[in-house]
Amino acid sequence: MTSTDPDWWRGAVIYQVYPRSFQDSDGDGIGDLRGVTARLDHIASLGVDAIWVSPFFKSPMADMGYDVSDYRDVDPMFGTIADFDALLAGAHARGMKVIIDQVLSHSSDQHAWFRESRRDRTNPKADWYVWADPKPDGTAPNNWLSIFGGPAWEWDGTRMQYYMHSFLASQPDFNFHNPEVCDALLDIMRFWLDRGVDGFRLDACNHYFHDAALRDNPPAPRAAGHDVPDTNPYGFQEHLYDKTQPENLPFLQRIRALLDEYPGSVAVGEVGDGDRSPATVGLYTGGGDKLHFCYTFDLFGSDFAPAMFRTTVEKFDEATRDGWVCWALSNHDVPRHATRFARKGDDPARIARMALAILIALRGAICLYQGEELALPEAEIAFEDLRDPYGIRFWPAFKGRDGCRTPMPWTDGEHGGFSTATPWLPVPPEHRARAVEVQEADRRSVLHFYREALAFRRNSRALQSGDLDFIETDEDFLAFTRRHGREQLLCLYNFSREPRDWPLPADFVTAFVERCSAPGITTNRKTIRMPALGWAFLRRL
């Protein structure tokens, strides 16, 4: 049975399933909902609290399901509503909650609402999307840019106006300034809550409202952080007016009020807001009347260093006094962290173990992306095999997102046991060598370490919800304590590629927690000897 604790989400571990790449049940080369249901035992064996299922709604698949044409139905590619209900029941029977993606900032241009909206300027849904007249010279209404490249405006020759799209031109943005739009989208969420889902991952939730005056964005300071690589001109602007508007807060409060009608249901928002992300997360999760927690891009870089982790955590701690963060190292939009964090000569399995040892010790919820429990590296995809419109647009400077979306390898056989047909993306040989079946047979594998580490977190109130305090140390070490009541843990990480000694605080025992600490650690009364890329958890006397 699933937890009845309304605060279950605070220290939760969430497992992201990308259905297209998880398991194919019908031999068409594409994963589906029945495939996910068939593999629920694997997810449950990790000891997670919930699964987040990426979009499975009806869609022309221009952006792999993040362009929804019917929010209340399952795309035939993935199965049927009955298949979703079976997945939901199967997860609940195994004690796991189910969170589904809600892509509310935009729809597909094939959605019935947009087809009606573009017909003329007087129809009942004429104002459901962001339409604007051209400038006198015929150019776009302002300088806003699409994340997927080029202007955020597309000319429509039927209405003789431009419409706004923050992503692909086939993903028009809703006009949240229209109350009818907000009501309709909340009704969609109620539909899924009534079916029994336990919450929502809100895609691009700071993109809901735009500046009603359509003011131009200013140039971005070149030293500022950006949501996307500098190969994309989107990063050249400071996005003051096309997203993260103050009108968003009352709508988030309406979402929370809806969820409060369904005790235990939650909303986790995706926030990509550059340097403003901590402040935005603080606004969106503060006060207990908006989102429960937020998911950010701040650990999705390639910097695997103590200063990065400490600086990031401290920024969010300062900005989210009574809010909550969901930490993640990988997802369906970024290269896998076993590759991102590794230097030349590093063992991806070692990187994966150490990264998880950090993740389980952070204050907040945590999210795992399918395949990271196998230490899968980023797949190299040939240009002719690309499916991601983002990758195709920016190739070769940016290779897109297909490298992290390849099918889950279950066996070392043909297609990794994912499908009996040729998969929609290839399964690399190095992934098949790390397949679930292979790692199940090896007690020293990353898969078994994931189970042990998540059990360690689950059995520790300090790691789930305790206070976190950093300890000053040198640049090669990350050290902090987690404290809840009488339980106090010292979490210590050596980022050096050489063994290092670290002085032990007098009030911590010299015996480390062997089950989750790295092998090769030795201690005496005064120091702990840490192996290269090593970690240790120590209990206070």
Active site residues: 203, 261
111 vs 117: CA distance, rounded Å = 10
CA end-to-end distance (rounded Å), the chain: 36
DSSP 378: P
Number of CB atoms found within 10 A of residue 272's CB = 24
- Give strand ranges (E) for 18-127: 50-53, 57-58, 70-74, 97-102
520 vs 511: CA distance, rounded Å = 13
Cβ proximity of 52 and 87 under 8 Å: no
Structure tokens at 218: 């200013």
Cβ proximity of 14 and 100 under 8 Å: no
Residue with tokens 């049940």: 25
Cβ proximity of 410 and 440 under 8 Å: no
Give 384's contacts (C-beta < 8 A, 6+ positions apart): none
What does the CA dihedral 444, 448, 452, 455 come to, rounded to 10 degrees? -170
* Phi and psi torsions of 512, nearest 5°: -90, 165
DSSP 114: H
541 vs 538: CA distance, rounded Å = 9
Cβ proximity of 59 and 71 under 8 Å: no
* Phi and psi torsions of 14, nearest 5°: -115, 135
Q: Is 396 exposed, middle or buried (0-12, 13-18, 19+ CB in 10 A)?
A: exposed
Give 303's contacts (C-beta < 8 A, 6+ positions apart): none
For β-strands 97-102 and 266-271, DSSP reports them as unpaired
* Phi and psi torsions of 487, nearest 5°: -85, 120
212 vs 132: CA distance, rounded Å = 10
Asked whether the bond before 396 is cis by omega within 30 degrees of 0, the reply is: yes
Query: Which amino acid is residue 329, in one-letter code?
Result: L
Structure tokens at 119: 């017909």
Nearest to 404 by CA among 338, 335, 302: 335
